[in-house]
Structure 1
Amino acid sequence: MFSNFSCKEERSSVSESNIANQNGSHPNLILTQNSVSKIKSQLGNVPVFDATLAAVKQDVDLAIKAGIDVPIPKDMAGGYTHTQHTLNYKNMQKAGVLFQLLEDEKYAIYVRDMLLEYAKLYPTLNRHPQERSYARGKFFWQCLNDSNWLTYTSQAYDCIYDWLPKEQSDYLNKSFFRPYADFLSIETPKYFNRIHNHSTWGNVSVGMIGLVMDDDELVNRALYGLKNIDIDNNALDNDGGYIYDKDGKAGFLSNLDSPFSPDGFYTEGPYYQRYAMYPFMIFAEALQNKKPELKIFEYKDGVLLKAVDALLNLTDANGEFFPLNDGQKGMSYFTSSLVSVVDIAYHYGNQKPELLSVAKAQNAVQLNAAGLDVAIGLRDGKEKPFIKKSMELTDGAKGDEGAVGILRYNDDNNTVGLVMKYTGQGLSHGHYDKLSFSLYEDGEEVIQDYGLSRFVNVEQKNGGGYLKENKTFAKHTIAHNTVTQNETSHFNYDFAVGSNNHSEKYLFDASNPNVQIMSAKETNAYPGTNFHRTMLLIKDAEHKKPYVLDLFKISSEKENQYDFPYYYFGQIISTSFDYKAEKNLAELSDKNGYQHLWKEAQGKAEADHIQFTWLNNRTFYSITSATSNNDDIILARIGANDPKFNLRRDPAIIISKKNTKSTVFASIIESHGDYDPVAEKANMAYSQFKAIKVVVDNKAYTALELEFKSGVSRVFILSNGNAAKDAKHTLKINGKNYEWSGSYYFK
């Protein structure tokens, strides 16, 4: 059975490789012989580790009792075969760890028998029968999931490698794992040689199995990618070795260089940063153990460790990631992959005690040296609170492609988070929504970003893959809280154009917790039109809670239609404007996302300001907006032209200005009062603002007046062209002189 191998093993002689072949006894990737000994000495004395180990043992014992099932691949995501192969790789990884820590051979036998079943099945398979993916896998409908399988299975294989008879490990290496690594890389270059989270998984899976087999050619392939590669293996050099891509366009290191900013922000957005961080960190941990000379955690000024901090800060008060770009709501740092990421960051990042509080909330650890360190730190009470503060996270490899701004206000009674997106496009998962924002209170969405249109791993919904509405609605500008011009999405929904442009930071200042400000400009979304959005999070004596001041300035060379939505949740309570409800619903327009919006009602502002109040989660909210008499006010709802009910039926209020050149949208968003259904009592159900007015708007300055019902007025003035802190300004408004230093005045 083990003597006739169908694949000739190839070894590289690439001279420029800086990786030394360090053969050593297994395990030596995520677990090492030293860490296994240390863990065994601590068992029974580290509560979180012990509890995690017990839970893992229970899971794997049940899997062993159920028996091995390696079905012929057939289904899309969420289907039986997809789910079973996913369970298999997760159970194998766990079983390998249990074998090392508990020294019970039943776990090694389970992994071995499973691997032999896969090795027997693999040569019989063509690419997956489901043809949806651009890169179909073997066991799964896309190579991405095959790389998940190999990344986890490599860890299991490492744990039983020395236990296996040499003829079995040789057989698995030559007849299964090496061909599988070749399939994911040289046979699928459009998957492997990209800058994308898919390729990160591909690179890591090939690198991980290369580390297990002490195959430096595979490790180099993972780190640097391949040049001029096709399925005919035309990338061989004169010595028969593969030509590595050293020009920064492919491979693990390039996927560290390009998508991550110096601040650790991942350009695809936090949902996919969460997904990519596991392979990034698990491979880094393996490289640190096996190839410490690479100093991978120091690469790009320690960007991997910075990325963990950035990712944890890209969450609301409940730990759920902000759904920027393609992002499924509800995903949080409680996912199992982030348990590993937090542990690794703690272990290799100077054991920051703030990470322990996240690990404590996760209530589980990785079963290796990193997890043990975390468990010991928790046992010894070393944790400190991980306080999410206001911050700006730059985008782009050099940090010069815009940013995400996060303003937060925290006290004992209230937590508010304001997120503004002024980034680059975000690769293929990017949405066309420059200068959009979302607002959170106590972890609940107040003004929402729609996120992606997909039911991940729900087979009934397009096999768990992206729904067509992701492209026809969720990515379009009108689906976000920003301005759409002439019912056309930013960059005319052109990926190449969008990818070549980004917004520009103008101002970010959170030094005063009571008046925090962020401001950015977008000059490329529409030819001849410039956008400048400024958002403030303000806490003053007149308000129990912070409120948001939103200023969106538009400068254009010609007349346009501007549509500005706010996507809220809940029940309309009152409006200051009259509207007519539609008896027969119709979509707003026929393309660019508008075709998915029902027009439920429409009215005219007929005033210099409007007010809109709604109730959600027993809390009252109001938007007070400066308007012109002829502005249309549209009450809309998502769901038109959606016969399969793939979209959520969420409401929006849209302020629409027609035949307008330059203009300003200015609004106040406030949370006020609550409703007690038991006492049937409404408390502070009315807005505390009387009006907001635009009192100056020119090239140099924009000034707003905020009128409170108490009789107090405040003035906000923004210098539109000079954000320098030491700049001095003077402006006369209605006969009164205002003088200040810095970018803005608020008093």
Structure 2
Amino acid sequence: MRISEKLTTTAWAPGLLLQLKAELDELSARGSLNIPEEPGGWWHQYVCPHHHTELLFDPAERDAHAFGCPHGCRIEGDAYRGAWLVFKHQAIARYALQAAAVFAGTKEPAYADLAKRILVSYAAQFPLYPVHPDAQPWMLKGRAFHQALTEAIWATTLLRAYVLLQDEGVAFTSEEQRHMDTFLAMLESSMTQYRYILIHEKKNAENNYTAWLNAALSCVYAARGEVEPLKALIEGEGGWRHHLSIGVKPDHFEFEGATYYHIFVLRAYLISAEMAERFGIDLYHEEGQQGQSMQGMFEVLIGLADTQGLLPALHDGPMARLPFAREIAEIMEIGLSYYANVALPASTLVEPDTGVSAYAALLGEVYRQMTGERRRSTLEALMYGEGDVELAQSMPNRSSLFLEHSGFVAGRIAGNKLSFLADFGEHGGSHGHYDKLHLSLHHTAGALSPDLGMVPYGSALRKAWFAETASHNTVSVGGASQAPHQGSCKRYEATPESVSVWLHSEGAYEGCLMDRHLHLTPDWLVDWFEVSLTRENTMDWWMHALQAPEGVEGGWLPTQLNSSETAVSAAGEAAPDAAGYDLVRLQGSYHQDAASDRIVLRYAVGTEAEASYVYQTIAAIPDAKLLSIETPGTSIDPSRPLSGLLQRQQGKHGRFIQVYTVGEPAELEWIPAGTGNGASPRLIVRSGSKEIGYELHPEQGLTVLRRIGA
């Protein structure tokens, strides 16, 4: 739908157009839309070395050599300058697209002239940028940036502006067109060369780079009206269809298992599809060799999102940042237009009558992140949005999600405000974490213990903390992180009464077996984690909650520790690289009252005005230690510490049992193996009038022996 049509068919487009027009007027008056003559560097270095937060960027700033962090630091240096230039180049490219969009809506020539000026200025400057001499050795080098990848992304934004101007009948002078033709030719040459290196020399066609090189070339061919090379790009080795087949798992999740890179690749696919559509070629409904599709990739996001529409930061990727939010808004606007009213044939996750509200909730959340309000309010809406759908406050009811090939499972059940998301799949390559059998716990009011995300790669905490096992809600052994490996799911059952999951790991440590059993009912979540070792060692069970426990019940007495003591010193042994343990401060220790067989911790979720409480009831294990810890914060701001929980056991066998409930704590009765007629250990859980008896069976996993009041 053309922008001019949206002005008459939607309630939000006219006001948004005026808002975007006013922003351009202000930036132009301040001289902020002149392109830098210096090439950009690597944006991941735009991070404070002290607080590990992303540095501040103001697109209205004409030039900068000192850069601030949210905590008041002023940072200088070539690496930071180069990273700032990445942001500046990307911002100006976006303003070129914005100017073209404003012209499409107003027909005021000044905005076409502004878009043309930016495009031609970059086209004239591009040959003057050298192949970047400062790029790191592992990078495919660009001209305008360290990375060819960044260059491809930036180029698609510029060329989307160019084709939009073409669509609106804007003419270029012969001199302007000469610069544009040179730019397109150089871009085609470099992108083609980089594709050859990735696909044929490095044998790495599935790389997310490839999707973006394809997108950039698609834009080049669309800009020049060349359909045959576009068709060849779609069908050839490493092309659009082939990449969909090898870069996305059959369950529709991007092969690295990272939400960020899933969206990253999906956005590139959509740009290629947008350019193909200009020639009457429909890629929006095409499939890969094992049924992979862009619609399926959208439904994965719908299945992973929490109740508010917030996406989890699985493996590498931020919990939240403005440029990422814009990318989510862009793809979700497109997804809403193409897919929201149609469910996948095999999908039980989102039915056609709830598809629109699911997309709308994801959009509402991402616009809230950008502007504080759940309304269409950015360029992405004007460019790609259609219709007057109300942006929902929360997701519709969804079933559980089992990504068998990618190795993730999300458990949900009607009647319980709690849900979970667990990781058992492949490591994820360079973007993976040492986090097998990690568990994120969510409440309908918000996350309780999510994945903490990833800081920009220039931060030392990328590898020192956020990728390590100790920063995840799983188990580590011997003070070391898990080895890169793949776990398995030995059982997944979802019925109206419960969701049962048995996750298994054999490759985390030599001589180590780990099993996590999860059972979600309308009343509680049982989390039973077993560890078996061939030699005695320290086993640590981690939980990182966004809120510290508010109260302690159940007969355990807290004792304060010296806050300078680290988890490394307490463990008595650790890997030489510390595996994140040196960043964990011990705050307190809970000593069991002999009269009690449990500890109960309470967490507040939601807003202060509408707080809800989640209770964690921990089964008492003889000789176990329960420690209160302080760790770096989330990837949004690691300098704001979190209060966590560390359960520690020593020996050849470890057992960690928790039951999570809302409103009141559960009562537990533990029956050891060999007691009565039971050959295996048993647990009885009671809450209100409900009771379930569980047995841990060696072949069947966690089984239900009886239910009362269910």
TM-score normalised by structure 1 residue count: 0.73
Is the Cα–Cα contact under 8 Å of residues 319 and 334 in structure 1 kept in the other structure? no
Please list, as runs of the form range in 1=range in 2, the aligned pairs for 1:332-481 lying within 5 A after superposition: 335-349=325-339, 351-352=341-342, 354-357=354-357, 358-359=359-360, 361=364, 363-364=375-376, 374-375=386-387, 378=389, 387-394=396-403, 399=405, 401=406, 403-409=407-413, 415-454=417-456, 465-481=457-473
Match of 1:597 in 2: 584
Q: Decide which moves more: 525-534 or 472-481.
A: 525-534
Is the Cα–Cα contact under 8 Å of residues 453 and 470 in structure 1 kept in the other structure? yes
Match of 2:161 in 1: 156
Please list, as runs of the form range in 1=range in 2, the aligned pairs for 1:22-101 lying within 5 A after superposition: 35-36=1-2, 40=4, 43-67=7-31, 68-71=33-36, 72-73=38-39, 77=43, 78=57, 80-101=84-105
Please list, as runs of the form range in 1=range in 2, the aligned pairs for 1:589-738 lying within 5 A after superposition: 589=568, 591-602=578-589, 605=592, 609-617=597-605, 619-639=612-632, 646-661=638-653, 663-672=654-663, 687-695=665-673, 703-708=681-686, 713-722=691-700
Matched, 1:520 2:503: yes
Task: List per-residue Cα deviations over 1:424-470 (Å, max 9, x = no partner).
Answer: 2223211111111111113422223222134xxxxxxxxxx441212
Is the Cα–Cα contact under 8 Å of residues 667 and 692 in structure 1 kept in the other structure? no
Residues 86 and 198 of structure 1, relative CA distance in 2, 3 Å threshold: same
Q: Decide which moves more: 308-317 or 358-367.
A: 358-367
Give, in whole Å, the separation in 2 of the partners of 1:416 and 1:212: 49
Give, in whole Å, the separation in 2 of the partners of 1:289 and 1:348: 16
What code does the residue aligned with 2:514 have? F
CA RMSD of aligned residues (A): 3.9
Give, in whole Å, the separation in 1 of the partners of 2:544 and 2:395: 30
How far did 1:407 drift?
Answer: 1.7
Match of 2:567 in 1: 588
Residues 692 and 288 of structure 1, relative CA distance in 2, 3 Å threshold: farther
Is the Cα–Cα contact under 8 Å of residues 705 and 713 in structure 1 kept in the other structure? no
How far did 1:322 drift?
Answer: 1.1
What code does the residue aligned with 1:623 have? Q
Task: List per-residue Cα deviations over 1:467-493 (Å, max 9, x = no partner).
Answer: 1212111111121111112222222xx
Matched, 1:266 2:268: no
Give, in whole Å, the separation in 1 of the partners of 2:432 and 2:85: 31
The DSSP-based 3-state class of the residue aligned with 1:502 is coil
Is the Cα–Cα contact under 8 Å of residues 620 and 671 in structure 1 kept in the other structure? yes
Give, in whole Å, the separation in 2 of the partners of 1:117 and 1:169: 9
The DSSP-based 3-state class of the residue aligned with 2:187 is helix
Q: Decide which moves more: 258-267 or 315-324.
A: 258-267
- Selected match of 2:525 from 545, 548, 553: 548
Match of 1:196 in 2: 207
The DSSP-based 3-state class of the residue aligned with 1:664 is strand
Residues 121 and 692 of structure 1, relative CA distance in 2, 3 Å threshold: farther
What code does the residue aligned with 2:376 have? A
Larger radius of gyration: 1
Matched, 1:276 2:277: no
Is the Cα–Cα contact under 8 Å of residues 287 and 296 in structure 1 kept in the other structure? no
Match of 1:313 in 2: 303
Please list, as runs of the form range in 1=range in 2, the aligned pairs for 1:211-250 lying within 5 A after superposition: 211-215=222-226, 219=230, 223=234, 246=237, 250=238
What code does the residue aligned with 1:655 have? Q
What code does the residue aligned with 2:319 have? K
Residues 165 and 636 of structure 1, relative CA distance in 2, 3 Å threshold: closer
- Selected match of 1:561 from 510, 528, 538: 538
Matched, 1:532 2:515: yes
Is the Cα–Cα contact under 8 Å of residues 419 and 442 in structure 2 kept in the other structure? yes
How far did 1:520 drift?
Answer: 1.9
Matched, 1:486 2:488: no
Q: How many residues align?
A: 619
Task: List per-residue Cα deviations over 1:553-609 (Å, max 9, x = no partner).
Answer: 334434332111122222452263345422362222251121211122335557684
Task: List per-residue Cα deviations over 1:404-434 (Å, max 9, x = no partner).
Answer: 11122456xx743211112222232111111
Give, in whole Å, the separation in 2 of the partners of 1:259 and 1:694: 47
Match of 1:570 in 2: 548
Give, in whole Å, the separation in 2 of the partners of 1:711 and 1:646: 43
Is the Cα–Cα contact under 8 Å of residues 567 and 651 in structure 1 kept in the other structure? yes
Residues 365 and 528 of structure 1, relative CA distance in 2, 3 Å threshold: same
Q: Decide which moves more: 62-71 or 333-342.
A: 333-342
Residues 611 and 205 of structure 1, relative CA distance in 2, 3 Å threshold: same
- Selected match of 1:123 from 123, 127, 136: 127
Give, in whole Å, the separation in 1 of the partners of 2:672 and 2:42: 54
What code does the residue aligned with 1:582 have? L
Please list, as runs of the form range in 1=range in 2, the aligned pairs for 1:290-309 lying within 5 A after superposition: 290=279, 292=281, 297-300=286-289, 301=291, 303-309=293-299
Match of 1:288 in 2: 277
Give, in whole Å, the separation in 2 of the partners of 1:187 and 1:303: 25
Is the Cα–Cα contact under 8 Å of residues 408 and 418 in structure 1 kept in the other structure? yes
Give, in whole Å, the separation in 1 of the partners of 2:189 and 2:709: 62
How far did 1:251 drift?
Answer: 4.2
Matched, 1:330 2:320: yes
The DSSP-based 3-state class of the residue aligned with 1:310 is helix
Give, in whole Å, the separation in 1 of the partners of 2:39 and 2:541: 47
Match of 1:172 in 2: 179
Residues 447 and 264 of structure 1, relative CA distance in 2, 3 Å threshold: same
How far did 1:311 drift?
Answer: 0.9
How far did 1:321 drift?
Answer: 1.0
Is the Cα–Cα contact under 8 Å of residues 602 and 632 in structure 1 kept in the other structure? yes
Task: List per-residue Cα deviations over 1:234-259 (Å, max 9, x = no partner).
Answer: xxxxxxxxxx6x3xxx4443432233
What code does the residue aligned with 2:9 have? N
Match of 1:14 in 2: none
The sequence identity of aligned pairs, in percent, is 16
Which segments of 5 or more consecutive residues in structure 2 lack a partner in the other structure? 44-56, 58-82, 343-352, 368-374, 569-573, 606-610
How far did 1:639 drift?
Answer: 4.5
Matched, 1:256 2:244: yes
Task: List per-residue Cα deviations over 1:325-352 (Å, max 9, x = no partner).
Answer: 1232236999333333233334333734
Q: Decide which moves more: 609-618 or 140-149.
A: 609-618
How far did 1:369 drift?
Answer: 12
Residues 532 and 557 of structure 1, relative CA distance in 2, 3 Å threshold: same
Is the Cα–Cα contact under 8 Å of residues 273 and 282 in structure 2 kept in the other structure? no
Is the Cα–Cα contact under 8 Å of residues 715 and 746 in structure 1 kept in the other structure? no
What code does the residue aligned with 2:509 have? Y
How far did 1:88 drift?
Answer: 1.2
How far did 1:356 drift?
Answer: 3.4
Q: Decide which moves more: 85-94 or 260-269.
A: 260-269
Is the Cα–Cα contact under 8 Å of residues 320 and 331 in structure 1 kept in the other structure? no
How far did 1:613 drift?
Answer: 1.6
Q: Decide which moves more: 437-446 or 707-716.
A: 707-716
The DSSP-based 3-state class of the residue aligned with 1:561 is strand
How far did 1:151 drift?
Answer: 1.0
How far did 1:107 drift?
Answer: 2.4
How far did 1:166 drift?
Answer: 6.9
Is the Cα–Cα contact under 8 Å of residues 74 and 129 in structure 1 kept in the other structure? no
Q: Decide which moves more: 154-163 or 46-55.
A: 46-55
Give, in whole Å, the separation in 2 of the partners of 1:117 and 1:533: 58
TM-score normalised by structure 2 residue count: 0.77
